[in-house]
Structure 1
Amino acid sequence: MTTHPKATAREWWGLAVIALPCLVYAMDLTVLNLAVPALSRALSPSASELLWIIDVYGFLVAGFLITMGTLGDRIGRRRLLLIGAAFFAVASVLAAFARTPAELIALRALLGVAGATLAPSTLSLIRNMFHDETQRQFAIGVWITAFSVGSAIGPLVGGWLLEHFWWGSVFLPAVPVMLLLLVLGPRLLPEFRDEHAGRVDPASVVLSLSAVLSMIYAIKVMAEHGPSLPRLALLAAGMAIGALFLRRQGQIDYPLLDLRLFAIPTFRTAIMAYALSCLAMFGIYIFIAQYLQMVLMLSPLQAGWATVPWALGFVVGSMVLAPRLAARFGPGRVMVWCLAAASLGMLAMVGADGSWALWMLVAGMIVVSLGMAPVFAIGTEQIITAAPPERAGAASSIAETSAEFSGALGIALFGSAGTLIYRQQLAQAGVANLPPEALTTLGGALKVAEHMPGDSGKRLIVAAQAAFTDALQLTALTGAVLVLLASVLAARMLRRT
């Protein structure tokens, strides 16, 4: 049996340096939402400009992941990471002092391009730094934990800064972190590149960016406003461009997306499990925050505390359960059974109603996070180790892009289905003559109820909350079936292997 060298203190310190920019990357996805009121007063953006200020970062991260993963394999993963960190620091400072909405949109776009270098570069460096399988799984658990913690503390850090400083201060925590990476990165992180890499194909970059941006934008807009002919046409155009992109990848010598990776059974299985898990989890999560605050009537702080066990479950599942279970039972078997466990957690959320609603929801979230975390940790490790070492950057970018796509698709599909269920249940409750906003969202119904006379407002609130609870329960049931399907498919694919 081949034994791999253990990581030294240098690699573990390097992992700490890698985890910090991942934490900041996740914070930047959420931290700006709290600053919207202050930002709106200071810059007076239009409704369209405000949407672009919020969304352009995530759009360009998703659009450039594939390009940056392959570029890191070509020019050096550490070099690309440091270049991205430098641009991220500069753009963060400039964004903090932006004077117009157009300036802020442009700088958020630059932050998105720089942010796209972080995930594939850091993950592929872990592949080069940790050769022992158990240590590598633990390191990937730390990497996943950094993203989870960043998402959790983003609103808390942003809220504290906004209480004491101006709206632009939410961008500044990234600056010292990126400067620390620029100082310590060259000393602690190894360099790795594909010595036989060809030139990055510009046509592939354009096709990749166009396909990803158009599809994710169309999915996001349809999730918020419903389908329409122009939005469906944009989605179809994105899919057609994506087909052209895939065709070109099979024709060139050094593709951005190496289709041969999908011929590797473990890679294909891990991507499938990763994508379906993200689709179900993101789709359900959009209902949980609304349910906590608008059905259970918790304050924002109380709702935040209610989701802490979810985040802690990911920390424990990624850093403790994943390496121990994989070492004892094997990675494939653990992925299959953890997917099944996560489906049980989603099934528990179906019971979120009545006096035990909060406890059933929190219990379900804990089981889901404990089940999903090993799937993400082990699946990510399988993805980057199944690929040849020189293509680890490309493989990690595929994993991240699949997560972005699946998350956006889950929000769109589950959000649309939940809205339909909510509307039907509210109509069946016998509440008549409601304005459109009350029939579309629970928040709209509660706002309308405030201005209704007598008991009619209370009846609307009760009916709307009951309809939303039905929507949550049915989407949770759908998610449970979807994740169980992923478990079955993973078992069959691994059995064939």
Structure 2
Amino acid sequence: MPAPAQATAREWIGLAVLALPCLIYSMDLTVLYLALPQIAEQLRPSSAQLLWIVDIYGFLLAGFLVTMGTLGDRIGRRRLLMIGAAAFGAASVLAAFSTSAEMLIASRALLGVTAATLSPSTLSLIRNMFLDEAQRGFAIGVWVAAFSAGGILGPLFGGLLLEHYWWGSVFLIAVPAMLLLLVLGPLLLPEFRDENAGRLDLASAVLATTAVLSVIYGIKRLAEGGLAAIPLLAVVLGALLAAAFLRRQRRLADPMIDVRLFAEPRFGAALACNIITMFVAFGFFLFIAQYFQLVLGLSPLEAGLWTLPSGIVFVFGSLAGPPLARRLGVGQVIAGGLGLSVLGFALLTQLGALPFGWLMLGYTVFCLGLAPIGALTTGLVMSAVAPERAGVASGMSETSFEFGGALGIAVLGSIVTALYRGGIDTSLPAGLPPAALDAARDTLGGAVGAARELGAAGEPMLAAARTVYTRTLEQAAWLCGGLSLAGMAVIIALRRRLEGPAPIA
């Protein structure tokens, strides 16, 4: 069997172009974390609206990824990437100039739908451009590292903008980058499509999107308000729609998803690991960013600078993961990374008792542990399919990432909110004005704003709110550490099955 063709300079230059939307995709999320205090102050969203501003992006992104990946296989992956870049830039402008919480939520929803065209297009192009397994592993590492680099640059650029401009300016970072992609993409990127693909099955697309959205919405509402009929029905409806979707795929001559993929050990283990990893990472990143500003009192720029270590180790880990896996084995590196993240979360369970240096150590260690996993699991997924099926496989891989991230923000965010509210009621000093009490009970950002209005009289209230929030984050670290430990146990059990057969055509 002849060796796969080696990538040329054109492919490597094209990889640099593909890294651009990945960079912006990540920056858009991390920038928003730092902008939340200003958004809370100026748009006055409720606690529920504040979470929707953050997680509606990931929800719709997760809901449309598989559909967009399949669409790219049919109409051309470069063409879909160009369409998505133009739409993402326009949605960014709309978000930047939102005048209400409702408008910002709608703009973020539109950003999520348009972003769903970017990730599967870039990853599936990499699958077709790099046929050699070692080169493809490195290219995927670069692709994942671009997301991590966005985590570095997002807080830095965002912090600088927030020091001098209004919160909406952070969304405008995407506009020149998308314009550059629109210029360079047709010149440097090849076009790929599945020439044998049939028409996109609209019924399957609707079933897949609705199933994902229903399940995430139901879980979010259950985490926020406890057991209730409507969210339970949403979860059940999503599960039924998912079952109907899978049944339909078995009957179709040209399905959106080849259900045989789920019998492939590499594929299923990689998707499960993605969900766990993104759950703990995205959920905790959101609250660490607010902890830096609202508890420690750092400016947006200072908070952005303190996120640098985590971004650096994510870039390093993403690039180092594939070479380490070739030496030690994929399962061993993933399990070791999850074990290292457990150690980092263990340090974060002592957030209030340890000095700031230990906080940064725990934060950096858990990021270092999770860093190689994305590149390795993505490589497992892409190696399980033939090149012509790369679009739908990349969509499924990214869906698992975004599903895990959305669940982390929704579930962990709702748990933190519930724990904070449960603790704040017994911790606030007596004699506070009713408006200040309501603001402090709603969110920590509300407590900071109310304390600023009360002046010296609000200091005891602010101190109590910060203590409760810190204790709540410690409890969240226990949960994240436990999930990482469970994931490590599963990977150890499956590690010998992660080296699988040839790709499924």
Please confirm whether the aligned pair reaches a TM-score higher than 0.5, indicating the same fold. yes
Check if 1:117 corresponds to 2:117.
yes
Amino acid in the other structure paired with 2:367: S
| In 2: Cα distance, 1:341 partner to 1:165 partner | 39
Asked whether the equivalents of residues 56 and 105 of structure 2 are also in contact (C-alpha less than 8 Å), the reply is: yes
Describe the shift of the 1:155–1:388 C-alpha distance in structure 2 as closer, same or farther (beyond 3 A): same
| In 1: Cα distance, 2:450 partner to 2:37 partner | 22
Asked whether the equivalents of residues 73 and 192 of structure 2 are also in contact (C-alpha less than 8 Å), the reply is: yes
Q: What corresponds to 1:85 in structure 2?
A: 85
| In 2: Cα distance, 1:267 partner to 1:360 partner | 37
Q: What corresponds to 1:214 in structure 2?
A: 214
Q: CA deviation at 1:490?
A: 1.0
Quick one: higher RCO (CA 8 Å, sep 6+), 1 or 2? 2
Aligned ranges 1:336-355 → 2 under 5 Å: 336-354=335-353
Check if 1:378 corresponds to 2:376.
yes
Cα deviations by residue, 1:69-92 (Å, 9 ceiling, x for unpaired): 111122222222223224334555
Describe the shift of the 1:408–1:50 C-alpha distance in structure 2 as closer, same or farther (beyond 3 A): closer
Q: Relative to structure 2, which stretch is displaced further, 444-453 or 232-241?
A: 444-453
Q: What corresponds to 2:60 in structure 1?
A: 60
| In 2: Cα distance, 1:368 partner to 1:107 partner | 32
Q: What corresponds to 1:323 in structure 2?
A: 322
Q: What corresponds to 2:260 in structure 1?
A: 260
Q: What corresponds to 1:272 in structure 2?
A: 272
Q: What corresponds to 1:492 in structure 2?
A: 493
Check if 1:334 corresponds to 2:333.
yes
For 1:377, what is the secondary structure of its paired residue? helix
| In 2: Cα distance, 1:443 partner to 1:437 partner | 8
| In 2: Cα distance, 1:424 partner to 1:104 partner | 29
For 1:250, what is the secondary structure of its paired residue? helix
Aligned ranges 1:136-155 → 2 under 5 Å: 136-155=136-155
Q: CA deviation at 1:368?
A: 1.4
| In 1: Cα distance, 2:449 partner to 2:388 partner | 55
Describe the shift of the 1:54–1:263 C-alpha distance in structure 2 as closer, same or farther (beyond 3 A): closer
| In 2: Cα distance, 1:163 partner to 1:428 partner | 36
Describe the shift of the 1:284–1:98 C-alpha distance in structure 2 as closer, same or farther (beyond 3 A): closer
| In 2: Cα distance, 1:76 partner to 1:452 partner | 58
| In 2: Cα distance, 1:28 partner to 1:253 partner | 38
| In 1: Cα distance, 2:266 partner to 2:403 partner | 20
Aligned ranges 1:26-425 → 2 under 5 Å: 26-29=26-29, 31=31, 57-89=57-89, 92=92, 110-158=110-158, 160=160, 170-220=170-220, 228-319=228-319, 321-354=320-353, 356-423=354-421, 425=423
Cα deviations by residue, 1:133-172 (Å, 9 ceiling, x for unpaired): 3332222222122222324433543455567778765554
Asked whether the equivalents of residues 258 and 394 of structure 1 are also in contact (C-alpha less than 8 Å), the reply is: no
Asked whether the equivalents of residues 69 and 393 of structure 1 are also in contact (C-alpha less than 8 Å), the reply is: yes
Q: What corresponds to 2:481 in structure 1?
A: 480
| In 1: Cα distance, 2:287 partner to 2:173 partner | 30
Describe the shift of the 1:225–1:216 C-alpha distance in structure 2 as closer, same or farther (beyond 3 A): same
Q: CA-atom RMSD, angstroms?
A: 3.8
Describe the shift of the 1:295–1:226 C-alpha distance in structure 2 as closer, same or farther (beyond 3 A): farther
Describe the shift of the 1:41–1:495 C-alpha distance in structure 2 as closer, same or farther (beyond 3 A): closer
Amino acid in the other structure paired with 1:64: F
| In 2: Cα distance, 1:23 partner to 1:145 partner | 9
For 1:267, what is the secondary structure of its paired residue? helix
Aligned ranges 1:454-469 → 2 under 5 Å: 460-469=461-470
Q: CA deviation at 1:3?
A: 4.2
Structure 1 unmatched ranges of 5 or more:
none
Cα deviations by residue, 1:34-70 (Å, 9 ceiling, x for unpaired): 778999999x999899988776544432221110111
Amino acid in the other structure paired with 1:63: G
Amino acid in the other structure paired with 1:342: S
Structure 2 unmatched ranges of 5 or more:
499-505
| In 1: Cα distance, 2:479 partner to 2:35 partner | 34
Cα deviations by residue, 1:435-486 (Å, 9 ceiling, x for unpaired): 455445444455566688998x655545443333332222212211211211
Q: Relative to structure 2, which stretch is displaced further, 342-351 or 162-171?
A: 162-171
Q: CA deviation at 1:186?
A: 3.2
Describe the shift of the 1:9–1:292 C-alpha distance in structure 2 as closer, same or farther (beyond 3 A): same
Describe the shift of the 1:328–1:215 C-alpha distance in structure 2 as closer, same or farther (beyond 3 A): same
Q: Relative to structure 2, which stretch is displaced further, 26-35 or 258-267?
A: 26-35
| In 1: Cα distance, 2:310 partner to 2:39 partner | 30
| In 2: Cα distance, 1:423 partner to 1:46 partner | 17
Aligned ranges 1:3-18 → 2 under 5 Å: 3-18=3-18
TM-score, normalised via structure 1 length:
0.85
Q: CA deviation at 1:203?
A: 0.6
Cα deviations by residue, 1:118-145 (Å, 9 ceiling, x for unpaired): 1001011111122333332222222122
Q: CA deviation at 1:344?
A: 1.4
| In 2: Cα distance, 1:172 partner to 1:426 partner | 37
Amino acid in the other structure paired with 1:244: A
Q: CA deviation at 1:296?
A: 3.2
Cα deviations by residue, 1:187-228 (Å, 9 ceiling, x for unpaired): 432332222222211111112222223333444455566665
| In 2: Cα distance, 1:136 partner to 1:449 partner | 53
| In 1: Cα distance, 2:171 partner to 2:469 partner | 35
Q: What corresponds to 2:501 in structure 1?
A: none
Describe the shift of the 1:97–1:130 C-alpha distance in structure 2 as closer, same or farther (beyond 3 A): same
For 2:355, what is the secondary structure of its paired residue? helix
Describe the shift of the 1:31–1:479 C-alpha distance in structure 2 as closer, same or farther (beyond 3 A): closer
Describe the shift of the 1:137–1:112 C-alpha distance in structure 2 as closer, same or farther (beyond 3 A): same
| In 1: Cα distance, 2:450 partner to 2:87 partner | 46
Percent identity reads 53
